[in-house]
């Protein structure tokens, strides 16, 4: 009986196989959509730092990306594959954690969203910055600053080069007033000055931020028939050196000369006789530059503290009207220069005396003028 049942079972199985066909179904291919498995997130970075988010994807090729950083980045959304953003955290005391997501999609419209979190360190104190600082100047200028943290900022202006006066040289800026600040650059001399001014911003937290402005500041315009004396400083200490330059505006004399000139100075400062010369500073003793010729060629000391500058001191031209270096008659410029060392406290004085010039115009008009100018320097 058992054998009969076994035979029947075999027959039934064979019949089932025959009824289903002679072959079993083959394997089928299943195409999966894109899938994000991980996202790189920032570590140890603070607000203001840059970071690039990168997603690892399996499955089909991604054709579109959609990132949302939950307020922890700028920009806060992106359609880039690997967006670079600036991290955001308004707190200056604590880290901040943000919920973010990235959604990927393939060409067939299959999408996948991956949620993740990331942490941004607190906002660190930021240094101050310049706003509207000019690159070149030709005199007075203005600028502002900004400080993201609202710190008080000490501003210092330092004259690097140029014989000018800068005011103010220090500014205490607060969040209530970050500018604009008006800076005065004064050139009391006649010669134009090439100037460089360094400006430093110090918030007491970060390293000082520095920048500089450069330019040329014009000298004082000279009026015709006018003599000026310009000291390099109006107040010095004993032992300091002071440079004296005498300038003249274009004189009306057609021959362009002055006669009977002399200089005198007080005895509480000592002249460097090697620095005495006709014209601008810088020549050897008694040198003449392109602005001057002396007739006769003499610079004779008289009585220790007085010098007689020859019988005729010609501006730009000799008595025959021939410019020594081609400078036209009547050109403004430096007449005389000298250096003094402050020897004793008090007031150091310098006088330039032009005894008198007479000339007659073609129509017979006569001119005669006398000039005496002086300068004083306080010696401490």
* Residue-range domain boundaries for the chain: 35-120, 129-217, 227-379
pTM over 0.85: no
Model confidence at 256, in pLDDT bands (50, 70, 90)?
A: low
Q: Which CATH number fits domain 227-379: 3.90.950.10, 3.30.70.20, 3.40.50.720, 2.60.40.10?
A: 2.60.40.10
Q: What is the CATH number of domain 35-120?
A: 2.60.40.10
Burial 21-60 (b: 16+ CB within 10 A, else e): eeeeeeeeeeeebbebeebebbeebebbeebebebebebb
- Least confident interval from 19-23, 51-55, 66-70: 19-23
Of the ranges 8-12, 132-136, 219-223, which one carries the lowest mean pLDDT score? 8-12
Does 94 or 368 have the greater pLDDT score? 94
CA-to-CA distance for 275 and 271, rounded, in angstroms?
8
- 1-10 pLDDT, tens digit each: 545 445 444 4
pLDDT in tens, 351-371: 877 666 665 666 777 666 667
Q: What is the band of 284 on the pLDDT scale with cuts at 50, 70, 90?
A: low
To the nearest whole number, what is the mean pLDDT of the chain?
A: 80
Q: Minimal CA–CA distance to 203: which of 150, 262, 278, 279? A: 150
- CA 218, 220, 224, 230 dihedral sign is negative
Compute the distance between CA of residue 183 and CA of residue 167 in angstroms, rounded to an integer.
Answer: 6
Reply yes or no on domain 129-217 having CATH 2.60.40.2040.
yes
For the chain, percent of residues with pLDDT exceeding 90: 48
CA atoms within 13 A on the CB side of 83: 19
Q: Rounded to whole angstroms, how far apart are CA atoms 104 and 54? A: 12
Top pLDDT among 62 and 330 is at 62
Residues 6+ apart with CB under 8 A from 124: 46, 47, 48, 92
Residue 41 has pLDDT above 80, yes or no: yes
Alpha-carbon distance 266 to 6, whole Å?
145
Do 129-217 and 227-379 fold alike per CATH?
A: yes
Residue 245's pLDDT is 84
Q: How confident is the model at residue 63 (pLDDT cuts 50, 70, 90)?
A: very high
Kindly state the average pLDDT of the residues 99-126.
96
How confident is residue 92, by pLDDT bands cut at 50, 70 and 90? Answer: confident
């Amino acid at each position: 009986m058992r054998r009969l049942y076994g035979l029947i079972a075999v027959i039934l199985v064979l019949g089932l196989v025959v009824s289903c066909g002679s072959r079993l179904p083959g394997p089928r291919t299943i195409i999966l959509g894109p899938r994000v498995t991980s996202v790189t997130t920032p570590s140890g970075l603070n607000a203001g730092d840059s970071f690039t988010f990168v997603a690892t994807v399996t499955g089909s090729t991604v054709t579109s990306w959609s990132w949302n950083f939950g307020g922890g980045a700028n920009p806060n959304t992106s359609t880039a594959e690997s967006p670079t953003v600036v991290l955001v955290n308004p707190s200056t005391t604590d880290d901040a954690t943000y919920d973010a997501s990235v959604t990927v999609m393939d060409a067939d419209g299959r999408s996948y969203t991956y949620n993740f979190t990331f942490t941004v360190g607190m906002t660190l104190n930021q240094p101050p910055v310049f706003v509207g600082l000019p690159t070149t100047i030709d005199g007075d200028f203005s600028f502002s600053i900004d400080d993201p943290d609202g710190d008080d900022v000490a501003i210092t202006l330092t004259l690097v080069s140029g014989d000018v006066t800068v005011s103010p040289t220090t500014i205490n800026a607060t969040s209530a007033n970050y500018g604009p600040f008006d800076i005065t650059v004064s050139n009391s001399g006649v010669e134009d000055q090439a100037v460089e001014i360094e400006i430093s911003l110090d918030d007491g937290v970060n390293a000082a931020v520095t920048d500089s402005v450069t330019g040329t500041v014009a000298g004082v315009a000279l009026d015709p028939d006018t003599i000026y004396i310009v000291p390099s400083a109006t107040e010095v200490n004993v032992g300091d050196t002071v440079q004296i330059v005498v300038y003249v505006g274009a004189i009306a004399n057609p021959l362009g000369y002055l006669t009977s000139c002399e200089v005198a100075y007080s005895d509480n400062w000592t002249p460097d006789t090697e620095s005495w010369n006709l014209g601008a500073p810088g020549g050897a003793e008694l040198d003449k530059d392109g602005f001057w010729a002396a007739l006769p060629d003499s610079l004779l000391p008289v009585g220790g503290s007085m010098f007689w500058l020859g019988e005729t001191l010609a501006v730009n031209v000799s008595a025959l009207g021939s410019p020594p270096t081609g400078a036209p008659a009547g050109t403004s410029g430096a007449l005389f220069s000298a250096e003094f060392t402050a020897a004793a406290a008090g007031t150091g004085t310098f006088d330039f005396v032009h005894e008198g010039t007479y000339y007659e115009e073609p129509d017979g008009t006569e001119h005669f003028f006398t000039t005496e100018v002086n300068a004083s320097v306080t010696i401490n």
